[in-house]
């Protein structure tokens, strides 16, 4: 991010930026930067809090009033902690759906695929309800069934088709994983009687309690064994977050 500011400013466009990693900004010395102590992925602090977001944005923009630099300023506030962010609430959140038990007489991989299908069937009504009520979905490339289909076909050696002739299998697998996670988030957070999970609680649930998380780990492991280096790299770095 700091390098981009450097390149643009050198070509005559003034820049100000938000910084999430202060040590990087200290090394790069971009012209103007506001360091914020927020989660990675949340540079404006919190969703659905226009007042706080505006405060952050104004703080970054006001650095454009400086007459010389580089300028690196710390934002003075932590992101607001909502009721659902408290430790107690995080510990208490769980998906209300109790997923069905696996069928017998299937291979391990087939069991994983079956379990994923059952989970998705049980989540789909809440996803459909959300789509009817909200115009926006963060699904980027694949509808939920298509994302699952690609990953299952890959895992079972059944000629996975990216669906786009210009898309490599490695990119398609990465995007399918992202869209499958998005489906789980949008469905699980729209069930009656539940509030949207925090990012940490969703990650804990998804990666430790769902068949989808389990299957994605298997996809990751299979990618690592491929002769294709982009698939290897995808399996090593781009499917399962560090620490999970």
59-98 residues in contact with another protein (CB under 8 A) are 60-62, 64-65, 67-70, 78-79
**Using the rule CB under 8 A, is 163 a contact of another protein?**
no
Can residue 48 be called a binding residue for another protein (CB under 8 A)?
yes
Which residue has 């990618």 as its token pair?
223
Residue-level length of the chain: 244
Within 102-243, residue ranges assigned H as helices are 108-133, 144-155, 169-188, 199-209, 211-224, 229-233
The stretch among 82-90, 113-121, 143-151, 181-189 that binds another protein (CB under 8 A) is: 181-189
Q: What are phi and psi of 34, to 5 degrees?
A: -110, 115
For residue 104, how many other CB atoms are within 10 A of its CB? 6
Please identify, using beta-carbon distances, which residue of 114 and 137 lies nearer to another protein: 137
Residues 200-239 as x/- pattern, contact with another protein by CB under 8 A: --x---------------------------x------xxx
Query: 123-162: which residues touch another protein (CB under 8 A)?
Result: 135-141
Is residue 173 a contact residue for another protein (CB under 8 A)?
no
**Of 92, 74, 215, 235, residue with least CA distance to 153:** 215
Cβ proximity to another protein: between 21 and 92 the closer is 21
CB nearer to another protein: give 104 or 135: 135
Structure tokens at 99: 């997923």
Least Å distance, CB 123 to another protein, is 15
Residues in 6-25 at the binding interface with another protein, rule: CB under 8 A: 6-24
Which residues, other chains included, contact 77 with Cβ-Cβ below 8 Å and sequence gap of 6+?
52, 55
């Amino acid at each position: 991010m700091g390098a981009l500011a450097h390149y643009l400013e050198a070509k005559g466009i003034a820049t100000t930026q938000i910084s999430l990693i202060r040590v990087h900004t200290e090394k790069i010395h971009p012209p103007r930067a506001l360091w914020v102590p927020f989660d990675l992925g949340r540079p404006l602090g919190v969703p659905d809090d226009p007042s706080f977001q505006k405060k952050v944005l104004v703080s970054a923009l006001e650095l454009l009033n400086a007459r010389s630099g580089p300028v690196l300023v710390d934002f003075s506030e932590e992101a607001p902690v909502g009721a659902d962010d408290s430790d107690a609430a995080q510990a208490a959140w769980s998906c209300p759906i109790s997923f069905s038990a696996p069928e017998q007489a299937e291979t391990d991989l087939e069991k994983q695929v079956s379990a994923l299908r059952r989970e998705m069937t049980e989540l789909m009504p809440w996803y459909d309800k959300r789509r009817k009520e909200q115009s926006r979905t963060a699904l980027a490339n694949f509808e939920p069934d298509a994302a699952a289909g690609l990953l299952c076909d890959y895992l079972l050696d059944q000629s996975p088709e990216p669906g786009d002739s210009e898309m490599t299998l490695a990119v398609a697998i990465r995007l399918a994983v992202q869209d499958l996670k998005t489906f789980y988030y949008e469905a699980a957070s729209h069930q009656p009687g539940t509030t949207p999970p925090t990012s940490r609680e969703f990650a804990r649930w998804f990666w430790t309690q769902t068949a989808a998380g389990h299957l994605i780990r298997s996809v990751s492991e299979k990618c690592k064994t491929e002769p294709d280096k982009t698939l290897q790299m995808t399996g090593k770095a781009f499917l399962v977050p560090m620490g999970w």
